[in-house]
Amino acid sequence: MYSMSNVGRNTIAMVLAGGKGERLSPLTLRRAKPSVMFGGKYKIIDFVLSNLFNSGIKKVYILTQYRAFSLNKHIRESWGKWTGLGEFYVAISPETSSESESWFKGTADAILQYLRFVESSDADYVAIFGGDHIYKMDISQMIDYHRRNRADLTLAALEVPAEEATRFGVFSVDDDYRVTAFTEKPKNPEPIPGRSTCFASMGNYIFSTRKLIEVLQEGKKLYEDLDFGKHVIPMMLENKDKVFAYNFNDNLIPGMKAEEKGYWRDVGTIESYYEANMDLINVSPQLNLYNYKWPILTNQGNLPPAKTVFDEDERRGVNVDSYVCAGCITSGGTVRRSILAPRCKVNSYSLVEDSILFENVNVGRRAKIKRAIIDKNITIPDGIEIGYDHDEDRRRGYRVTESGIVVVSNVEVK
């Protein structure tokens, strides 16, 4: 077995974190999808960066692009501070690079623009991971699998039912999990040999360094919008390169509970984002954030503890079945089955139910909020009701999804 320290020394990582996340609008109007809050205190990107860090991979380039300022700031103020000599977590983006470099045109084009970092490293392997999914993974196990197969490319694969596979890029594999074909959103996905399930792409790759350099240099001559799914993987399959699928279900992390095995969420829509957050407050959530053997790291901030105020019959500060982050004050109001990011305040006689409040939301007296997502720095006026009358919510300019989730991103709430 390859030791974690060897993995760290022999691997560099490049995290693709430039996505707009348009289906998460309006939460992504002013921030990139990897910068969206998840679970109160975290950013979505903290999950992949924690996986890399916990796996011993501490030389990481984060390729940012769309609305990059807040994401770059988060990385600089947290991840940039935690590494030591010869280690780094650094955000780079076309917005701050030389004028001759254009914005990324495809996932592989993003790597190509910064191929000099790969070429100048002494790494044997390059881990290329997306920055906008929620999961836990020991990446060193995937690298060990890649090394044992003497692979040119190893693709992280999610085992899904055939009916779900039509939403993904799907790998066809032989009995040894060597990839024979890759098809985007197939109508009739090919199952894994001997099973009824299919291998769906997670968008995470381990390349042998020399092969990555070779295939990207070849690809740039053929495609301007060079992309891993559309171009690089098909090119490598055509060239008979050794491409293998790694079954994510085989990945085990320290302290993992049975219900957490294979947990992976795209959170690419308001509904999926809301459901994944709400799962956290269940008695036994699928994603366990209290596993101290595999912590999800983030910028903790210098904030006081959460606080409840008042204990009178009509005016009681209560948090029930909820995540309430540091700096929050529940002052004579009720919070039930909700997630409150840092520095929120819920004032007297108000009610917040089944909702997600981003950082520094102030809920006025006698306000009522139900099945809503409230963006950061918003003040909810006294007496307002959100989530009770969807026609009224729409008149106020809020987004209401088909399932009835109300998203409030207006700075001025009427």
Q: Is 184 annotated as a binding residue?
A: yes
Separation of alpha carbons 343 and 304, rounded Å: 9
- Amino acid, single-letter form, for residue 122: D
Q: Is 55 annotated as a binding residue?
A: no
Give whole-number Cα distances, 199 to 151, 181, 190, 219, 245, in Å.
18, 11, 9, 25, 8
219 labelled as ligand-binding? no
Query: According to the annotation, is 185 in a ligand binding site?
Result: yes
Neighbouring C-alpha atoms within 13 Å toward the C-beta of 125: 27
Residues in a beta bridge with 15: 62, 129
Question: Residue 273 corresponds to which tokens in the numbers above?
Answer: 């984002």
Of 39, 82, 61, 201, nearest to 131 by C-alpha is 61
Per the annotation, binding residues for alpha-D-glucose 1-phosphate are: 169, 184-185, 201
Q: From the annotation, which residues make up the binding site?
A: 169, 184-185, 201
